[in-house]
Structure 1
Amino acid sequence: MQSGGAPLPEMLAELLGLDPTNPGVILVMALIASAAVGSFVLTNTAIVIWAKRKITAAFTDRIAINRVGPLGLLIIVADAVRLLSKELIVPEGVDRPAWDLAPLVLASSALLGFAVIPMDMEYNIQIADPEVGLAYVFATASIASVGLVMAGYASNNKYSFLGGLRAVAQNIAYEIPLILTGASVVIFAGSLQMSEIVTAQQQSLVGPIPSWYAFVNPFAFVLFMIANLAEVGRNPFDIPEAPTEIVAGYQTEYSSVYFVLMYLGEFIHIFLGGAIVATIFLGGPAGPVLPGIVWFIIKMWAVFLFTQWARSAVPRVRIDQLIEIGWKGMLVLSLANLMLTAVIVGVVNV
């Protein structure tokens, strides 16, 4: 989709010969587009069940799953049947409905973020393209913090409560640097609109090197990747669930389908983080030869691979170290990056 092109619901209406200005038609097409994009995201998340084990095994020199189906691929089905068939145990004293809603909040907040992600510019694979697209993504992703607090508080478990408190402290400490670093990209692009940010990266920087913001401002890219690790709870920032310290933190008391939703939400957020990184730093779906959607998937999975490397190779920090890194390190560096970017762009545009 070129900048200003019709989003996916309008394109579907035109392909079917329907009136794209009719609100009822657009509503139905939006539901169809949402179902398609949601299925795409959930399919990638399902593959993670297999890929996560294979990737971690490769990093730690192990074989991993190889018995359930070819290459162990049927572990996806086996795990789904195993987890969904387990009894849903509701502990005494939980605060319902907060305890029931927390898994849904975690999973749905990440799915909502994909509504404005441009997955392919040529075939208009983007549900909506509002002028405040990047702000919308950050806003919906931050709803997950509410779900973590709900799960920790409502579980009537001291380990869950500690996990919820840690989640709040971590998300506040790293969400601000994440947004400030994203704001530096907005200064370069001159827009919060996701398609505009992608379009602004289409030019050549030097020779064959594209003007992706990861090359234009590598310092901001590194800051964003670190802050994103903290936001999705991957090492060294997996403090809210820290199994060796607080059992499993905010998700200690969850089982069966609720446990599935908690982990589903976690991995959807990892992919949402990868989608944001791909969009604002890696040119979105841009790339040679292959279709845009393929490049988008490659970039999104590359970020997931990085999170798995961190999970396997980087030791967990203590909670006091985590807070200190966030407030005394990341916040200062992200502010400095934002001010320097504003000065550079201001001088260039004079």
Structure 2
Amino acid sequence: MSVALQQAPLPDAIANGLGLSGTLGEIVASLIGAFLIANILLITAAIAGPWAKRKIMGAFVGKIGPNRIGPAGLLIIVADAVRFLSKEVIIPEGADRPAYEIAPLLLPFSAMLGFAVIPMGNGIHLADPESGAAFVFAAASIASLGLLMAGYASNNKYSLMGGLRAVAQNIAYEIPLIVTAVSAVLLAGSLQMSEIVAAQTGTLIQIGPISVNGWFAFVNPFAFVLFMVANLAEVGRNPFDIPEAPTEIVGGYMTEYSSVYFVLLYLGEFIHIFLGGAIAATLFLGGPSAPIAQLSFIPGFVWFLVKIWGVYLFTQWARSAVPRVRIDQLIEIGWKGLLVLSFANLVLTAIIVGVIV
């Protein structure tokens, strides 16, 4: 097992460092660890949403992007936060208030909950259950409930259509996403996230003095491609941004949200993108491990951030370069294309693993 994963979980390290003991000490240490992880995610999403997204989109269309407020325009993050949070909260007439107000909380919550079992390297992981891979997908799927609630509770036909589209899309693509992930579980022989990462730290190819680690993206590139395509649909990026589709249904499930509610939905969207990147990094890109053994001196957490930002850049490239498909095409691609290919990949992987083992 890699050095990065041999360390105790973050709550244990906090408890030992602060001298906490007993059940109360474990609870306090876990809360502190969760607070630290949540803040890392919030900072990452804050940089990605208001600033990095605009810079990347600007580069694709020959514009500059934010460059006026603060160095390199970075203070646009603060300006946007003040601008949105100072706006009036407008509740649509006839809205289902409990569902309308709970829905924006479910999106960021489900994404942050998924990060609880993601090993980020250097002892930065909250928990490492034996069913970690199943837990992270279960947590991420809670977002579908939030999207449906937001669409229904807004009392707006465009919002309702966006919520229904989101559910149809998530069902169509979550199945091939999970089936493809199972192929990585078969290769690792475990659902435990740390074991999946550890299974990818062995040498795959020796090129002179360079030892290339056996990432599952190298071992089974077909599964990795399928996963990345299905992940685009799960996080709602082109060509699968049908639930929002501004040119068709205004803004979908987000249409009737303003002020802090809009911020929560927007934040949840970007945290989910990074959760998708974290799952892809863990299952196929070696988690916090380096691509070659000679670069292992770089902290695992740095490698982990590089990988999830790489997936984020891929989603932004798709948003800028790939045209949106129609809803009927989206469903057909999911059920008739990715689902069939994901099961074919699973069967082939199972045969190969059975022969090798």
TM-score, normalization by structure 2:
0.95
Counterpart of 2:314, as a letter, is F
Mapped to 2, the partners of 1:160 and 1:170 lie a distance apart of 15
Shift of 1:147: 0.2
Q: Which runs of 4+ in 1 moved over 2 A?
A: 1-6, 15-19
For 2:14, the equivalent position in structure 1 comes to: 12
Length, aligned pairs only: 345
Q: Quote the offset at 1:59 in angstroms.
A: 1.6
CA contact (8 A) 2:9 2:123 kept: yes
User: What is the aligned partner in structure 2 of residue 285 from structure 1?
Assistant: 288
Please tell me whether residue 46 in structure 1 is matched to residue 49 in structure 2. no
Q: CA deviation at 1:62?
A: 1.2
Secondary structure at 2:191 match in 1: coil
1:8-42 C-alpha deviation (Å, 9 max, x unpaired): 111221223333xx221111000000000000000
CA contact (8 A) 1:116 1:126 kept: yes
Alignment partner, residue 210 of structure 1: 213
- The CA deviation at 1:6 is 2.5
Contact persistence 2:90–2:258 (CA under 8 A):
yes
Alpha-carbon distance between aligned partners in 1 of 2:20 and 2:35, rounded to the nearest angstrom: 19
Aligned counterpart, 1:329: 337
Shift in Å at residue 2 of structure 1?
5.7
User: 2:262 matched to 1:259?
Assistant: yes
- Checking the alignment, whether the CA contact within 8 Å between 1:91 and 1:253 is kept in structure 2 is yes
Q: Is the 8 A contact 2:119 2:288 kept in 1?
A: yes
Letter of the 1:135 partner, please give it: A
SS at match of 1:128: coil
Q: Deviations over 1:218-274 (max 9, x none)?
A: 000000000000000000000000000000000100000000001000000000001
User: Counterpart of 2:93?
Assistant: 92
User: Cα distance, 1:209 vs. partner?
Assistant: 2.0
**Which residue does 1:295 correspond to in 2?**
303
Mapping of 1:36-115 within 5 angstroms? 36-48=36-48, 49-115=50-116
TM-superposed CA distance for 1:64, in Å, is 1.3
> Are the counterparts in 1 of residues 60 and 320 from structure 2 also a CA contact under 8 Å?
yes
Please say if residues 54 and 64 of structure 1, whose CA atoms lie closer than 8 Å, have aligned partners that are also in contact: yes
User: For 1:253 and 1:162, how far apart are their aligned partners in 2?
Assistant: 13
Q: Take 2:5 and 2:314, find their aligned partners in 1: how far apart are those partners?
A: 30
State yes or no: 1:137 paired with 2:145: no
2:320 match:
312
- Correspondence for 2:231 among 228, 251, 259: 228
- Letter paired with 2:79: A
| Partners of 1:71 and 1:2 in 2: CA distance | 34
Mapped partners of 2:266, 2:42: distance in 1: 12
Tell me, in whole angstroms, the C-alpha distance in 2 between the residues paired with 1:229 and 1:134: 19
For the Cα contact (< 8 Å) 1:83–1:256, is it kept in 2?
yes
- Quote how far apart the aligned CAs of 1:4 are: 6.4
In the alignment, what sits opposite 1:23?
A: 23
Structure 1 CA distance, aligned partners of 2:148 and 2:191? Answer: 29
CA distance in 1, matches of 2:88, 2:4: 49
The residue type equivalent to 2:67 in the other structure is N
> What is the Cα-based RMSD across aligned positions, in Å?
1.0
SS in 1 for 2:97: coil
- Aligned partner of 2:39: which letter? S
Moved more, 143-152 or 207-216: 207-216
Which residue of structure 2 aligns with residue 271 of structure 1? 274
Gaps in structure 2 of 5+ consecutive residues: none
Q: 1:348 corresponds to which residue?
A: 356
Opposite residue 12 of structure 2, the aligned amino acid is: E
TM-score normalized by structure 1?
A: 0.97
Q: Structure 2 counterpart of 1:198, which letter?
A: V
Structure 1 segments unaligned to the other structure (5+ residues): none
Q: CA deviation at 1:107?
A: 1.2
Q: Aligned partners of 2:307 and 2:339: how far apart in 1? A: 26
- 8 Å contact kept, 1:2–1:199: no
After superposing the two structures, state which structure 1 stretch, 62-71 or 124-133, moved more: 62-71
Structure 1 residue 96 displacement after superposition: 1.5
Aligned-residue identity in percent: 69
Q: Which residue type is aligned with residue 306 of structure 1?
A: F
Q: What amino acid is the match of 1:346? A: G
Matches of 1:55 and 1:267 in 2, distance apart?
Answer: 15
3-state SS of 2:89 partner: coil
SS of 1:97's equivalent in the other structure is helix
